[in-house]
Structure 1
Amino acid sequence: MVALISALAVLIIAFSGCVGDDNTAVDGTEPDNPGANISPDESAADISELEDLPAGFEYVGSLSLNETEIKDSYNAENVSGIVGGSEGMYRYDESDFYLDVIELKDTEAANNLITAYKSSFPPLQNESRFVEESFNGHSAVRITDYVTSGGKAVPRYSYIWNNENYVIVAYGNTAESSPVRQLAEATGY
């Protein structure tokens, strides 16, 4: 009986994430990115307008995001500490791409926003919706969602991660994940 309880305790600890390196946050992103950190003099608008675009991408424009828009878009009604944000709009190969940069009061609020957003997605039946990937010296979560286009279910991808108190989200209306990742990598964060 003691062995059974001990084995159960070990499994619970292992699956809870309480064992292993202490660098990974609960949401699967790195709280203290070893890559480039956002400079204190940069704003969400500065970050959402990329200077060095991947080949074939074209910057279209930016718009500011207020707290209400962010809470609605990211299922973050219960997340406090949202300062504001910016959405950079891009075109590539006749598809639209977006880079949302959301400023929060601290890293904890940023992690809470990511957790709230991820909880808005139901599980997928035949694949993992959330896949951790690494680029620019940190990890990000690739999210797979499906939309109906031409009567068929087609995938749409987004990448979400935080850099200190900023949450960065890259997404587009394409069935391929590679251009979305290229846009995410182009942030340098």
Structure 2
Amino acid sequence: MKKTIALISVFAVLMIAFSGCVGNSPAAVNGTDSDNPGTNSVSDEDAAGISTLETLPAGFEYYDTASFPIDQTKSDYKAENVSGVLNVSEGIYRDSNNTEYHIDVIELENKEAANNFINAYKASFPPLSNGSRFTDVSFNGHSAVKITEYVTDGGKTVPRYSYLWSNENYVIRVFGNTPEEAPIKQLAEATGY
């Protein structure tokens, strides 16, 4: 009887520890914000902290984190007229096939600036001749947009996907050098944001 109680106690402690329900873990680790269950708060994070994942999906490995000049980022995202960009960080990851993936995190001065940044970027894309370039999706308790682009790779036209969303005053974009959508979404979900 004592062994059974001891085993149940050990399993209970392990379940609590692995669930992230105890300790001083920030919202980014356990996936919740006490003020708004189901969403992460980025108030205690910075762009580099968000783009550098502590826990990676199976098959991914962390490669590097880089900072980018604000002017270059605004140009890359066709958001030259958006004000309030404060900081930019990019986490770089690879999978077992050596495919490269990126998590761009752009810190802006407020939510309105983040929304303006996203709108400017989306407006820079021409419409697709067939299908929709933008697809609304949901993960980690928030909405995002999946963006489909086409590139020529090895003489063939292939899709490239990215996921784009904002969380408070941050814009997050996850993308990779692959025609497969699933690993990009998996990495986007792994951000916890």
Quick check: TM above 0.5?
yes
What residue is the counterpart of 2:73 in the other structure?
70
Query: What is the match of residue 170 of structure 1?
Result: 174
Structure 2 residue identity aligned to 1:45: A
TM-score (norm 2): 0.79
**Pairwise CA RMSD of aligned residues?**
1.2
**Deviation digits for residues 134-184 of structure 1 (CA, Å, limit 9, x no counterpart):** 000001000000110111110000000000100000000000111000010
Q: 2:125 is paired with a residue of what secondary structure?
A: coil
Q: Is the 8 A contact 1:37 1:164 kept in 2?
A: no
Question: TM-score if structure 1 supplies the norm length?
Answer: 0.80
Aligned to 2:164: 160
- Closer, same or farther in 2 for the Cα pair 1:143/1:34, shift >3 Å? farther
Quote how far apart the aligned CAs of 1:72 are: 1.2
| Segment of structure 1 superposing worse, 35-44 or 70-79 | 35-44
Instruction: Tell me the secondary structure at the aligned position of residue 185 of structure 2.
Output: helix
Work out which structure has the larger RCO, using CA pairs closer than 8 Å and 6 or more positions apart in sequence.
1
Tell me the equivalent position of 2:60. Answer: 57
Where structure 1 has 5 or more consecutive residues not aligned to the other structure, the ranges are: 1-32
| 8 A contact 2:42–2:168 mirrored in 1 | no
Residue 126 of structure 1: CA displacement? 1.1
**1:34, distance to aligned residue in structure 2 (A):** 6.2
Maintained 8 Å contact 2:39/2:142: no
Q: CA deviation at 1:130?
A: 0.1
User: Quick one: which of 162, 181, 185 aligns to 2:185?
Assistant: 181
Corresponding residue for 1:149? 153
2:114 matched residue in structure 1: 110
Measured in 1, the distance between the counterparts of 2:42 and 2:82 equals 24
How far residue 99 of structure 1 moved from its aligned partner, in angstroms, is: 0.2
Alpha-carbon deviation of 1:71?
0.4
Amino acid at match of 1:101: V
Shift of 1:55: 0.4
SS in 1 for 2:163: strand
The structure having more radius of gyration, on CA atoms, is 2
Give the deviation of 1:64 after TM superposition. Answer: 0.7
Alignment match, 2:141 = 137
Aligned length: 157
* 1:126 corresponds to: 130
Structure 2's unaligned 5+ residue stretches are 1-35
Aligned-pair identity (%): 62
SS, match of residue 109 in structure 1: helix
Does 2:38 correspond to 1:35?
Answer: yes
Q: How far apart in 1 are the matches of 2:192 and 2:87?
A: 21
Q: What does the per-residue CA deviation read over 1:32-87, in whole Å, with 9 as the maximum and x for residues that have no partner? A: x8632334231100010001101000100000122112101110000000001100
Find the aligned partners of 1:155 and 1:34 in 2 and give their Cα distance.
35
